[in-house]
Amino acid sequence: MGRPPASSGAFLPFSANNNHHRSESPSSNSVHEGLVSRSTRDWRDGFLYSAYGFLRRIMSGKKIDGGSRTAEEEKVYSWLYSLARSDKDIVFEYVHSTERGLSFAEAERRLQENGPNTPLGYSFPRWWHLLWNAFFHPFNIILIVLSVISYVTSDSPNGCIMLVLVFISVSLRFYQEFGSSKAAMKLSEFVRCPVKVQRCAGRLIQTELVVQVDQKDIVPGDIVIFEPGDLFPGDLRLLSSKHLLVSQSSLTGESGTTEKMADVKEEDRTPLLDLRNICFMGTNVISGSGTGLVVSTGSKTYMSTMFSAIGKQKPLDDFERGVRRLSYVLVGVMLILVTIIILTEYWTSHELSESVLFGVSVACALTPQMLPLIVNTSLAKGALAMAKDRCVVKSITAIRDMGSMDILCIDKTGTLTMDRAILNDHLDCWGKTGEKVLQFAFLNSYFKTDQKYPLDDAILAYVYTNGYRFQPSKWIKVDEIPFDFIRRRVSVIIETETSSADASQKFQDRYMVTKGALQEVMKVCSFIERIDARSVAEFTAEEYQRILNLGEEVSNEGLRSIAVAVKRLRPDENIRGDDDADEIVESDMVLLGLITFFDPPKDSAKQALWSLAEKGVKAKVLTGDSLALAIKVCEEVGIRTTHVITGPELELLDHDSFHETIQRATVLARLTPIQKLRVVQSLQTVGNHVVGFLGDGINDSLALDAANVGISVDSGVSVAKDLSDIILLEKDLNVLVAGVERGRMTLGNTMKYIKMSVIANIGGVISILIATLFLRFEPLRPSQLLTQNFLYSVGQIAIPWDKMEEDYIKVPRRWSKKGLLTFILWNAPVCTLCDTATLFFYLFYYQAYRDRDAQFFRSGWFVEGLLMQTLIIHLIRTEKIPFVQEVASWPVLLSTVVISAIGIVIPFTAVGKVLEFVSLPLSFFGFLVVLFIGYFTVGQIVKRIYILVYNRWL
């Protein structure tokens, strides 16, 4: 007939797309090095190593290179390519095995040498390592040192409070990290199953035995036997195969299948995952059978090179890094100022113990003790709010990261689309809508009973909802040839009665209706129907190519397609006579046309993406599907498609071009899991972005773990959910919009506390230093200073319930490396200025500079300092004029009123007498009114100048 042979590519039933991920070209490393090299990623025990690792992470400025391949990957690539290019005999020599298999003794020896066959080649940290890392934090060390000194100086209550705060902080962090460290271990569940292995036994005569061995006991050199449903326990070089179709979705993310064959020799330019004689650990057999020689196990497999990055390469959090730097600054300032204050106090009083106690009290006042509580309360509040939006927050720190997130990487299926098929059109062989094509596709789907696929449901739904009357009740099913992954088509034999022209006779019309993958249906077609001319023509080579081009055009439009063919049978034709009856019947058919389908975009997706864009979060689509399909969906939901690229194209780029392309591209299709990881890392390191990743499959695990915010869904696989920070109970991007807003509110309120407490504390301590130099007595006694600090700290608990201005949540917010120091230098002097004004008011107006005036001075200094620290939140929390243009939330206002009232009343109460306070004159409160009016005036002027210079406030 002249029809060209059909392609041997394989894919899921009724799918017209066959896009496999392409991997990187082989490396130049030697085969022997790839075989014998061992992983050195062992977790070292010991206190000193833990401390060293912590310091190294703190001091190291090295960034992850998102465009580079690791040495382990190079070895694996070189090894597998060498085996794929070699004959079977050479492969046996490489792994030191025979066609009979390994003996039991040799297998045991290799198991002892190589270790258990687990997909991850490193040990997980022990719980005490995680506890030490959680404990060894500069902020915790500050509080512990101060608490010890407090106990030594008989200030037990203050020391106890600080230890409780440390306990809360360490417990929360340990709990989060301990849960995350176990997530990657669940990867082994995907390859934990019994495996059929050929072993040899006998001393004189070797006998081949087939035994079942646990996956973890498989070693290089084993010959495994597999059939449908089996998982490959390692990387295999095929020895024999029969109609073997393999699903590599765990590695590629594509739902399609790949045809594997043993009797081929591959070339260097073939992408790794397209090697037909290599099967990979973690993939599974869809249909067919065969045998394979295990060439790599455990940490040396391709799967291990992918997932060994889990838990190791996640970038440091900007906020944690900033808090750590802040701790170092506070330690430095504390050592300098407290030392000066202790020496000055000792020089005045000559009482060492009193001087040290006063210095410790000043150090406590300098430390933002409520930071762990404020941070965790803010995050917990955000987590509870997101729970109401059907969103489970596993790692509460992810809420803060969502506030900083400026890029969201998402998969297409089920996120932008509804993850179901909708019939788009029914085309004849010339691309025109034809009802006859739809009629026979409907009859095929209606009468098939073997298994209903989503495409069948889509066909039936389309016919019923559009009013077609194909009257299936007039047809009777005779037989069915079910779908299988070799033929990739399904046929039903149906018949109906038709009347002759004079209606006196009736005939039985019997048809075989076939639908399935385009190329597989065309294989059994010898004719093509000209529906407009109501005739049948021969299916020539030219027509064959034209239909292929039509299918490609449909695919380029982002649509899936299946072909429909029909054949008229004789009523008495034998269709089940022998083993080859199916092949005989499915021949010389008439091709009718194509049915096209699409996965419709979600109605909410476009609005959600628009809302995210308005808030400065750009969306990038990272998918394993074809580029054409990804582009079509993105155009439907409003994502720009001017810069697109595929995974195979990324592999051809050099280092610089890779990173430049990643920054520009909005749609990246046909990506492997490793490529998704490198895209995320490139955006983080080179682009300096905070990246969120939304995924739900095993192939998304790498990117989920590396992203600043890993997001999965409740229907995702267990590994993806374990490695994610946030789990959506429904795939709706609008939940993420709300999460971004809550994240920015959480970050904003946290930054309010940090900036407010640091400038108030530093400004206050400098004021104490100045007062100590001017006065002959302590400005405040240790008990008074600690009481003031306690009341001030309690008053800040309401900050997480404060509101944020609309302008603040419109754009992503991040911790500024230089911003905090600059903020302190601008605003702390304002606090010191007001305290100094109070000092000079006492010195010149009340002339209170002698020892007998100490109680009177301390009473006023206590009240003024507490009011200053309480009211400062209202100046810091907004860019606008406080109490005039912007008012805080009622919890913050209530907290301010209560703490201020307590501070004012204390000198007049019995508590004040215990603290050695005295009553204050009315003139002092008049001075405070003038002082704070001046403070807010000067502070607002400094604020406006600061905003003009740096174009930001918080």
Active site residues: 411
The token pair at 489 is 């088509």
**Can you point out the beta strands (E) in 626-686?**
644-646, 667-669
- The alpha carbons of the chain give a radius of gyration, in whole angstroms, of 37
Which distant-in-sequence residues (6+ apart) come within 8 Å of 472 by Cβ?
442, 443, 446, 447
**Cβ pair 520, 489 in contact under 8 A:** yes
User: Is the Cα dihedral 548, 554, 559, 563 positive or negative?
Assistant: negative
**Torsion angle of alpha carbons 705, 710, 715, 717, nearest 10°?**
0
The whole-angstrom separation of Cα 722 and Cα 725 is 8
Q: Is 574 exposed, middle or buried (0-12, 13-18, 19+ CB in 10 A)?
A: exposed
Q: Is 774 exposed, middle or buried (0-12, 13-18, 19+ CB in 10 A)?
A: middle
Chain-centre distance of CA 124, in angstroms? 20
**Can you point out the beta strands (E) in 715-774?**
726-728
The whole-angstrom separation of Cα 811 and Cα 617 is 8
Please state the length of the chain. 954
Closest CA to 178 of 133, 138, 139, 137: 133
The whole-angstrom separation of Cα 697 and Cα 625 is 14
Bridge pairing between strands 407-410 and 618-622: parallel
Angle formed by the axes of helices 435-447 and 454-465, nearest 10°: 120
Per-residue CA distances from 446 to 280, 434, 452, 777 (Å): 38, 19, 9, 97
Q: Residue 859: left if φ>0, alpha if ψ -120 to 50, beta else—which one?
A: alpha
Closest CA to 130 of 184, 188, 172, 163: 172
The whole-angstrom separation of Cα 532 and Cα 524 is 23
DSSP state of 2: -
The token pair at 813 is 């917010």
Helix (H) or strand (E) holding 449: none
Amino acid at 250: S
User: Is the Cα dihedral 700, 706, 708, 714 positive or negative?
Assistant: positive
Angle formed by the axes of helices 318-349 and 819-841, nearest 10°: 30
The token pair at 143 is 């509080």
- Give Dmax (Cα) for the chain: 131
Q: Is 433 exposed, middle or buried (0-12, 13-18, 19+ CB in 10 A)?
A: exposed
Would you list the DSSP string of 540-561? -HHHHHHHHHHHHHHHHTT-EE
Helix-, strand-, coil-residue percentages of the chain, each rounded to 5: 50, 15, 30
**Cβ pair 239, 290 in contact under 8 A:** yes
Q: Is 65 exposed, middle or buried (0-12, 13-18, 19+ CB in 10 A)?
A: middle
The whole-angstrom separation of Cα 869 and Cα 18 is 66
Chain-centre distance of CA 7, in angstroms? 37
The token pair at 18 is 């066959």
**Cβ pair 34, 75 in contact under 8 A:** yes
Would you list the DSSP string of 890-930? HHHHHHHHHHHHHHHHGGGSHHHHHTT-----HHHHHHHHH
